[in-house]
Structure 1
Amino acid sequence: IISASRSTDIPAFYMDWFINRFKIGYIKWINPFNHTSQYVSFKETRLIVFWSKNPKSLIKHINYLNETVNNYYIQFTLNDYDKENLEPNVPSINDRIETFIKLSEMIGKEKVIWRFDPLILTNKIGIDELLKKVEKLGNQLKNYTNKLVISFADIKSYKKVQNNLRKEKIKYQEFN
């Protein structure tokens, strides 16, 4: 099972590279913690899980994936934090919804998992507002996926996120 990749958005930034490496048959992965190299062979790949906030570039590779792997799915993180600018480096919500629908129509709704990740409470987003955001997106995506995965923001565990929120003067609160 290849997880591509929860920590680096391969479909958004490196999809051409990934397909090229898949054709070659392996990748060299360097562990970011201990800097040791490991070779990962695609020879016996049974499943690829793509994680992305913007998998639009995956669309042009669907035929290749269907012919060579076929057993893959997408964990598509689709949040509606445009107004609050919490995810400034992703396309607009409308563009991402369009990509979600197109992928679902191309590969089937069972292969496109919707992630609203993370759920976050701030001085600008209360519980009611957050629920409205999820409901609105859910109404738009309900015919294009079978699953919704959520997580709750654990801001205290991520110093970089804390710093970004502080820089933007966004106050967050923990879920209780």
Structure 2
Amino acid sequence: MIEKVFKTDKITLLGYTLLVFTYSLFFGTIFFKQNSSSFTSIIMVLLVLPVAAYFFFLLRKRVIVDQNGIKIIGITGKKEFSWNEISEVAVSPGRKYFLFTTNKSGDVAVIDDSTENFKELLEELKKRLPKEKLSPNYENVLNSYKRSYGSIILIYVASLILLFVLLKSLLGI
């Protein structure tokens, strides 16, 4: 039983690790500098939760391909599609690429290109599924695919800005 496991790529995981760290430090510093548990400071601390939740989702995210089908473990739980119950696989190109897998019941699983070896995943699905189950643009997207880095660069920039503001505040510069 040969299975291939695809997780969140390391550059995305590192970016969100840095963001959660700097976000937590930033809002934690604001909270402690105010020396009170005012409603505003509590709200600021709560702003860390969505970023931290997404980070934990990225840690948990998995796509498993084996001879039986594909399993997608993501933010909404686990979806399993056997090869014969998949009705369509489509790829949406753009600034960020998305892979949509639909089964005969209408259930949809979405995988984005922050998944490591995304192109290898696309190739694996092409090998295992008949051509008529792949969207008409599938081959073109597969051949022209290049990992998008725009959103992850924004994460790194936001983290560095938060770190700069935090250091400036703490050091009084």
Q: Which has the higher Rg, Structure 1 or Structure 2?
A: 2
Taking CA–CA contacts closer than 8 Å with sequence separation of 6 or more, which of the two structures ends up with the larger relative contact order?
Answer: 2
* Length-normalised TM-score, structure 1: 0.25
* Length-normalised TM-score, structure 2: 0.25
